[in-house]
Amino acid sequence: MVPFRNLRRLSSLLLALALVVLAGCGSAPSQQSPSPAGGGTQTQPSDQAPAPAEGDIVIGAVLPITGGSAKMGQDMQNSIEMAFEEINAQGGVLGRKLKLEVQDDACDPQSAVAAANKIVSMNVVAVISGYCSGAFLPTEAIYHNAGMGVVVPAANAVSLTEQGYEEINLINATNRDQARTAADYMVNQWGAKKVALIHDNSAFARELAELTRENLEGLAEVVAFEAITPGEKDFSAILTSIKSKEPDAIYFTAYYAEGGLIIKQARGLGIDAKIMVGDGANDPTLVEIAGAENAEGVAITTSPGAFDFTGSSDWIPRYREKYGEPGPYSVHAYDAAYVVAEAIKQAGTTDRAAVAKAIRNINIEGISGPISFTETGNRKDGYFIVLEVKDGEFTVVQGAPR
């Protein structure tokens, strides 16, 4: 009888000979293409070509470059490119330069899945992705299957880190923190007894509205819990219904395109309740859409932005010189770029799994403060602040917790 170990050697030899014959016939197996709509077989890690050991180190970015949130995506892309330029000017990482590969998710789940599948099919080492939580959530399994580490600069739905994926890491604090901040402010600062909540049925906005409702239990009555449709322009029916319930405060948890219109139309209907919006609406465009007079006094719950960090005083003029005013997640994206670069350096390799592990174990000082992640991928010690529109400008009225 042939010893087992010799049998294994013989099997390996026969397999190798078979592969040589196949290669000589030009019939090497082709890589499976991802489904454009994400409906086909997702790319698996074993199908991926390893990142090359020389040349540029390619980092992916999946962001909303088109659609209603395109400005946010461009702000974040600018910051990532700025960080990579700085890193490359200092010699790059592992003696190689960083190169950015951008794909557009348009804040749309199907587009995001197609973009993620394309990214993992390339020689990309890690990804910076996630503005709209609803678009990012279905891509998590794709990155997980590819063993690719992801740093998320903006998306912050609680569900994003509840999937158990070791590759997903949030720079931003979560909706749980935001909901607590919103409820506390409306009740304790505004004295609200009756609150109306409006969301757009996206994973992020609905979750934030639901968590806020939970935090308001026993403190204020939620007199309305309404959903709008993204892209809608006329909210008079919902606002008229809300007006009849005489809320002291309205909290809109979705994005600025609709948020600005809701503020404008609410004031046009004579609704004098105080209005608050979530971090998805944190952009000066909100004031432009609503009109400065209508937006005056509107509050915004948000992660700290470029102007709220003590370490950003030198960074802001550098950003302005290249791109103009930074957006609310410009600093987060910039920090995400440095997290990825440092993780590759600490891993000492461009192997995806090794870089993903290094990201989860990172501990660095960013513009936004110390950056490290919990065992589930949430940022340690994250928090939200409250801004208020005063004379058309966003002013901090409640800063970091003491």
Please list, in sequence order, all residues whose beta carbon lies within 8 angstroms of the beta carbon of residue 183, skipping any fewer than 6 positions away: 212, 215, 216, 219, 220
pLDDT at 48: 52
Q: What is the percent of the chain where pLDDT is above 90?
A: 80
143 vs 20: which has the higher pLDDT: 143
pLDDT band at 54 (very low <50, low <70, confident <90, very high): confident
CATH class of the domain whose range is 45-173+309-372: alpha beta
- pLDDT digit string (tens) for 64-91? 999 989 999 999 999 999 999 999 999 9
pLDDT band at 24 (very low <50, low <70, confident <90, very high): very low
pLDDT at 105: 98
Nearest CA to 143 among 331, 359, 364?
A: 359
Mean pLDDT of 194-208: 95
Q: Mapped to the 3 state alphabet, what secondary structure does the chain carry?
A: CCCHHHHHHHHHHHHHHHHHHHHHCCCCCCCCCCCCCCCCCCCCHHHCCCCCCCCCEEEEEEECCCCCCHHHHHHHHHHHHHHHHHHHHCCCECCECEEEEEEECCCCHHHHHHHHHHHHCCCEEEEEECCCHHHHHHHHHHHHHCCCCEEECCCCCHHHHCCCCCCEEECCCCHHHHHHHHHHHHHHHCCCCEEEEEECCCHHHHHHHHHHHHHHCCCCEEEEEEECCCCCCCCHHHHHHHHHCCCCEEEECCCHHHHHHHHHHHHHCCCCCEEEECHHHCCCHHHHHHCHHHHCCCEEEECCCHHHCHHHCCHHHHHHHHHCCCCCCHHHHHHHHHHHHHHHHHHCCCCHHHHHHHHHCCEEEECCEEEEECCCCCECCCCCEEEEEECCEEEEEECCCC
Q: State pTM to two decimals.
A: 0.77
130: left (phi over 0), alpha (psi -120 to 50) or beta: left
Mean pLDDT of 158-168: 95
Mean pLDDT of 286-300: 97
CATH class of the domain whose range is 176-302: alpha beta
CA 195 – CA 274 distance, rounded (Å): 10
- pLDDT digit string (tens) for 217-246? 999 999 999 999 999 999 999 999 999 999
Mean pLDDT of 302-315: 86
Mean pLDDT of 308-316: 86
Q: What is the percent of the chain where pLDDT is above 70?
A: 87
CA 361 – CA 371 distance, rounded (Å): 10
In the predicted structure, residue 45 carries a pLDDT above the cut 80: no
pLDDT band at 15 (very low <50, low <70, confident <90, very high): very low
Residue range(s) in the chain whose domain bears CATH number 3.40.50.2300: 45-173+309-372, 176-302
In the predicted structure, residue 37 carries a pLDDT above the cut 90: no
- Lowest-confidence segment of 11-25, 230-244, 250-264 by average pLDDT: 11-25
